Structure 1
């Protein structure tokens, strides 16, 4: 099977609704054609600026509009970020993702500080990803110049369902940011969240939008909603594991070269459930040393337990930059 950018929603629906074991087999076959099935990329997510976000994303604990356990925190010092990254690298992490609860990037001293963080952590031999909100083409180029490997900007859900979850920015705003990143050498990380009250058709529509991008995102995170008390979606039911596996498998088939990331919500999955996700084509996870993925409301498995799981399944941690999508920068010489 070759890489396609002209998938029809009806074709994606047929894949998504295929008999489950046949779907997993097909996805596993595609996965082996394009990836090393014995390797998993393990990533660390750092919240470099937490809370007080002006947006109204209905799932997010960091929105200033909702009363949650999250306490706002100013932008962390570069030294703090570098120390966290060093510890992560020592544990086998190959990608560090830095997230700031901003609506959009502003050209100010804080952005300058983030650029320095990107340079420093990249020089350690780690892939660096940022998720900072909306981004202009010029800002994307500055991040590229700093050595950024990837930029995350999720679509979250389908175009039709989107306005029921977020009203403070549009679907086209998100696609425009992705397009701005595409004007640089920075790779694109974009996926969605399961459990927002969407239908199967919404999930299929989102995959259709992502798979119509040329090139496809190099990274497609599949997140499972972590219900947060105080947010509009706090009472959403849990997503059945089989829905998660269907989504991973379908993403793997329609975007075969992408890394499919089993992201938020993995902490509630058993070892067997995670193994099914890997079989269906997931080849990246987030791990943590403090039991949190981004905030106190998003639990994340620890380094030790993840290492035990990968050993149990005969999987190994993937080294950074093996994809070769963006040239590894030269180390900073002090």
Structure 2
């Protein structure tokens, strides 16, 4: 852990939070929301904490490729809800993005002024180039955990942490904005959190998400405890002070986690308009 991070982690919490909130007040609030492309995932075995697996057990309709018309309808609703930025998630389909994804990204750009970010996991350079040609503004790829041992524990299959770092670096080199972060509350240490922040600062990310681990029913990790909200907010506040430039994203725009996100210095928020899928 470098000296700057060491000093931040050692700060008295009220001072740390106050400084983080002062930085957040200088930032514009950014509201983002998903526009789902495909809920199929080829990761085998499935991630042990996957909320999509949970969704699929209670809603069999949450499975499969969305039609272009569904994506267009969702775009209209997001624009009406005042969303600034849309990310277009898919289950991991391997390192090469399916061809139809490009037309979906192009559709959102043609029908809105929102910034568009891809969210497809680790992908190859050609796919990133094609997404950029389709009008994509940036790429969102979380580290999940900067600790490889923890990463493999809850994500035993699919792309690796190394793959994700390659994808972020490649997107940056191609001139796209990059958005990344990690989850807090997986059993990581303070040193793990610090290492994650050092990686993200070196990447010079444009946006940063520090999110709390939340267990979902019908997953392998549903018995695990959720992240302690105070500790989550504390890591957020360290991130906010350590990395002043990026937009810092919290969880939701209301309720329990929203208040802790504000405490930690967030200026970006996920909103989920009630959209039938």
Given candidates 265, 279, 287, the residue that maps to 2:271 is 287
Shift of 1:276: 4.9
1:46 is matched with 35
1:331 is matched with none
Quote the Cα distance in structure 2 between the aligned partners of 1:78 and 1:194.
35
1:277 counterpart = 2:257 = no
**Number of residue-to-residue matches in the alignment:** 272
Q: TM-score, normalised by structure 2?
A: 0.87
Quote the Cα distance in structure 2 between the aligned partners of 1:178 and 1:268.
30
Asked whether the equivalents of residues 212 and 229 of structure 2 are also in contact (C-alpha less than 8 Å), the reply is no
Q: Summarize the Cα distance change of 1:104–1:63 in structure 2 as closer, same or farther, 3 Å threshold.
A: farther
1:312 is matched with none
2:197 is paired with a residue whose SS is helix
Quote the Cα distance in structure 1 between the aligned partners of 2:184 and 2:265.
17
Quote the Cα distance in structure 1 between the aligned partners of 2:156 and 2:131.
27
Q: TM-score, normalised by structure 1?
A: 0.74
Given candidates 114, 128, 132, the residue that maps to 2:116 is 128
Structure 1 outlier segments of 4+, above 3 Å: 29-32, 61-64, 66-72, 266-269
Quote the Cα distance in structure 2 between the aligned partners of 1:105 and 1:197.
29
- Of 121-130 and 156-165, deviating more is 156-165
2:6 is matched with 13
The runs of 5 or more residues in structure 2 that have no matched partner are none
Quote the Cα distance in structure 2 between the aligned partners of 1:112 and 1:275.
41
Given candidates 117, 126, 138, the residue that maps to 1:150 is 138
Spell out, residue by residue over 1:207-227, the C-alpha distance to the aligned partner (whole angstroms, 9 max, x if none).
1221222xx111111222221
Quote the Cα distance in structure 2 between the aligned partners of 1:128 and 1:171.
23
Given candidates 117, 136, 141, the residue that maps to 2:104 is 117
2:154 is paired with a residue whose SS is coil
2:128 is matched with 140
1:285 is paired with a residue whose SS is strand
Shift of 1:147: 1.1
Q: Summarize the Cα distance change of 1:182–1:120 in structure 2 as closer, same or farther, 3 Å threshold.
A: same
1:245 is matched with 233
Shift of 1:30: 3.5
1:171 is matched with 161
Quote the Cα distance in structure 2 between the aligned partners of 1:70 and 1:205.
38
2:71 is matched with 81
Asked whether the equivalents of residues 86 and 114 of structure 2 are also in contact (C-alpha less than 8 Å), the reply is yes
Asked whether the equivalents of residues 189 and 217 of structure 1 are also in contact (C-alpha less than 8 Å), the reply is yes
Asked whether the equivalents of residues 197 and 236 of structure 1 are also in contact (C-alpha less than 8 Å), the reply is no
Spell out, residue by residue over 1:209-250, the C-alpha distance to the aligned partner (whole angstroms, 9 max, x if none).
21222xx11111122222112322211212222112112111
1:23 counterpart = 2:16 = yes
Quote the Cα distance in structure 2 between the aligned partners of 1:58 and 1:13.
32
Shift of 1:275: 4.0
CA RMSD of aligned residues (A): 2.6
1:164 is paired with a residue whose SS is helix
1:255 counterpart = 2:243 = yes
